[in-house]
Amino acid sequence: MAVREERHARRRLRTILSWFPDAVVVLLVVAAAANLAFGLGDRLGLDRPDARRQPAEVLPPAGLDLVAGSAAPPVAGSAPGGQLSESSVRAALAAYVGNPSLGRHVDVAVGDLASETTVFSTGAGAVTPASTTKLLTGTAALEELGPMARFRTTVRQDGGQIVLVGGGDPFLASSRAATKGLYPARATLDDLAASTATALSAQGTTKVRLSYDASLFTGPAVNPAWPASYVPEDVVPPITALWADEGKGPDGRYVADPSAAAAATFATALAAHGITVRGVPRAAVAPDGSAEIAAVESAPLGEIVERTLAVSDNNAAEVLGHHVGRVVGKDASFAGGATAVLDVLRKLGVDTTGASLYDGSGLSRRDRLSPDTLLDVLRVAGSTEHPELRSVLTGLPVAGFTGSLQWRFDDAPAAARGRVRAKTGTLTGVSGLAGVVTDLDGNRMVFVAIADRISPAQTLAARHALDLIAGALAACRCGQPDGTTAGSTS
């Protein structure tokens, strides 16, 4: 009897299960009809727009009477601008370009943003550009790779071995905690470890050997054109295609081998996700034919360039220079990158006469640029013919507000704050600004002001003198032949 009853029970269960798919379909049809008839989807929030993706389409709660908004007043009134007056520009700058605190070698040049016209120039010969060099590196990187390019850090597998492969992501971070409050968004080794662990677990693999591949870049990791003190004094790390947190260790100082440190961090992250790494990670080249099992991507290059210029990130600029060398000259080194950057700029029509580059950041004291080269780079970046380069201008620090100019221009013409956008350039004995400025009439100018023989005792005074030069242009009505200016020039 027990056996017969068990057989009947099994038949009933099979009958019920056979009807289950049909029952699900019927329920879905009934639910859809109810939604149409009674608006249940709206009542339950199923048909409402996603506030995270469509905030403008989210309606206010029932019964809330919202007052229609009005357009906010403009921060600064627009002005049409016009033709620059040489006499006006000269009059605006007359009291500042001869400031003795700037030392014995000062180059100042001012031109129209929209044309090749230079209306003011003083000084002779090329200057040490310092970090204004980053304008060249960022422009070349955007031109060759495109503003939407992303750098991929991958994991490849060959049997029981996995290889962490650096893709030259300058902002790759160790973890989400290390990226808090930072722009742009960062890819992390912890996210990569999570994806890797998922792929390995699906294979039934819980133990692996780990290698790391930083072979994307070539040549020395430390630039021979830099002072030997830079690395031991923690000015800059060795430059590599694989690092985390720009080569910084837990104590905030640069580590001796950023690639090995990144691999060790990755191994720890794998362990936290259930994958045991056997032995110590070793340097290697990913074998041909190895399969990619996980990857993370950087932010778009346009955002990386903006950040690099805004805070004058030497490390990121060097990585970008290596990428330009890799793409243009197939030589992803300091020398290859510097040569390739100038090649790209010449292709864009930039006058590189007298230019000598040894790096991508401007840390080398052997770098030389003429003001004309910097003016041309700014003009090209602002040209409607090259929208791909716009991040060079949007990344420029804003006087008194952002980046390396956030705490400057507090004792310059009030009109300068917000009207001057410029890349700073600073080394011992060198201070400079190169950027764009809009005067009170809406005239848009490009300008360069660099002094490279400043007495150390005059460092702050020289910096202030440069702020006054840029500020005088912002406070000028430089389309007026009488050179009328406005605002305090204390």
pLDDT score for 485? 54
Q: Please report the pLDDT score of residue 18 as a whole number.
A: 54
Among all residues, which ones are annotated catalytic?
Answer: 131, 134, 312
pLDDT of residue 481: 74
Q: Are 51 and 58 in contact (CB under 8 A)?
A: yes
When the pLDDT of each residue in the chain is averaged and rounded to a whole number, the result is 88
Residue-wise pLDDT for 47-89, tens only, equals 556 655 566 677 777 777 767 777 766 655 555 567 899 999 9
pLDDT band at 42 (very low <50, low <70, confident <90, very high): very low
397 vs 132: CA distance, rounded Å: 12
- Assign 3-class secondary structure to the chain: CHHHHHHHHHHHHHHHHHHHHHHHHHHHHHHHHHHHHHCHHHHCCCCCCCCCCCHHHCCCCCCCCCCCCCCCCCCCCCCCCCCCCHHHHHHHHCCCCCCHHHECCEEEEEEECCCCCEEEEECCCCECCHHHHHHHHHHHHHHHHCCCCCCEEEEEEECCEEEEECCCCCCCECCHHHHCCCCCCCCEHHHHHHHHHHHHHHCCCCEEEEEEECCCCCCCCCCCCCCCCCCCCCCCCCCCCCCCHHHECCCCCECCCHHHHHHHHHHHHHHHCCCEEEEEEEECCCCCCCEEEEEEECCCHHHHHHHHHHHCCHHHHHHHHHHHHHHHCCCCCHHHHHHHHHHHHHHCCCCCCCCECCCCCCCCCCCEECHHHHHHHHHHHCCCCCHHHCHHHHCCCECCCCHHHCCCCCCCCHHHCCCEEEEEEEECCEEEEEEEEECCCCCEEEEEEEECECCHHHHHHHHHHHHHHHHHHHCECCCCCCCCECCCCC
What pTM was estimated for this model as a whole? 0.83
- Residue 99 CA from chain centroid, whole number: 35
Task: For the chain, report the end-to-end CA distance as a whole number of angstroms.
Answer: 108
Name the band, by pLDDT with cuts 50, 70 and 90, for residue 43.
very low
184: tokens are 């742009």
CB 467 within 8 A of CB 488: no
Phi, psi values for residue 86, rounded to 5°:
-60, -40
Same CATH fold assignment for domains 86-146+304-474 and 152-299? no
- Give the tokens for residue 89: 């520009």
What gap in Å lies between CA 121 and CA 449, rounded to an integer?
10
- For residue range 400-416, list pLDDT tens digits in order: 999 999 999 988 888 89
Domain extent listing, the chain: 27-55, 86-146+304-474, 152-299
Q: pLDDT of 242-285, one tens digit each? A: 999 999 999 999 999 999 999 999 999 999 999 999 999 999 99
Looking at residue 131, its pLDDT comes to 98
CA dist., res. 90 & res. 81, Å (int): 18
How many residues are present in the chain? 490
**pLDDT of 143 higher than 50:** yes
Could you tell me the fold of the domain covering 152-299? D-tyrosyl-trna(Tyr) Deacylase; Chain: A; (3.50.80)
Distance, CA of 342 to CA of 137 (rounded, Å): 9
Give the model's pLDDT for residue 37. 46
Report the alpha-carbon distance of residue 192 to residue 172 in Å, rounded: 11
Task: Please tell me the predicted confidence (pLDDT) of residue 46.
Answer: 47
* pLDDT score for 444: 95
Whether the pLDDT of residue 334 is over 60: the answer is yes
Residue 8 in this model has a pLDDT that exceeds 80 = no
- For 22-57, b where at least 16 C-beta lie within 10 A, e where not — what string? eeeeeeeeeeeeebeeeeeeeeeeeeeeeeeeeeee
104-142: pLDDT as tens digits: 999 999 999 988 899 999 998 899 999 999 999 999 999
Is pLDDT at 25 greater than 70 in this prediction? no
Average confidence (pLDDT) over 457-484? 90
Percent over 90 (pLDDT), the chain: 76
- Cα separation, 178 vs 174, in Å, equals 6
Q: Is the peptide bond before 184 cis (omega within 30 degrees of 0)?
A: yes
Check pLDDT > 90 for residue 149: yes
| Radius of gyration (C-alpha) of the chain in whole angstroms | 30
Give the C-alpha separation, 87 to 353, whole Å: 27
Return the pLDDT at 80: 56
pLDDT of residue 294: 98
pLDDT in tens, 166-218: 999 999 999 999 888 889 999 999 999 999 999 999 999 999 999 999 999 99
22 pLDDT exceeds 60?
no
- Does the pLDDT value for residue 346 go beyond 80? yes
Assess whether pLDDT exceeds 80 at residue 39: no
Task: Write down the architecture of domain 86-146+304-474 according to CATH.
Answer: 3-Layer(aba) Sandwich (3.40)
Q: For residue 136, which of 392, 447, 386 has the smallest C-alpha distance?
A: 392
- Rounded to an integer, the average pLDDT of 434-456 is 96
Q: What is the pLDDT of residue 181?
A: 85
What is the per-residue pLDDT for 228?
A: 95
Is residue 275 within 8 A of residue 356, CB to CB? The reply is no
| pLDDT band (50, 70, 90) for residue 417 | very high
Strand partners for 108:
122, 449
Q: Cα separation of 231 and 213, whole Å? A: 22
Burial 353-373 (b: 16+ CB within 10 A, else e): eebebbbbbbbbbebbbbbbb
- Both tokens of residue 230? 């830079």
pLDDT at 4 (0 to 100): 45
Q: Report whether pLDDT(367) > 70.
A: yes
> Encoding tokens for residue 271?
């362990």
Tokens linked to 65:
């009477």
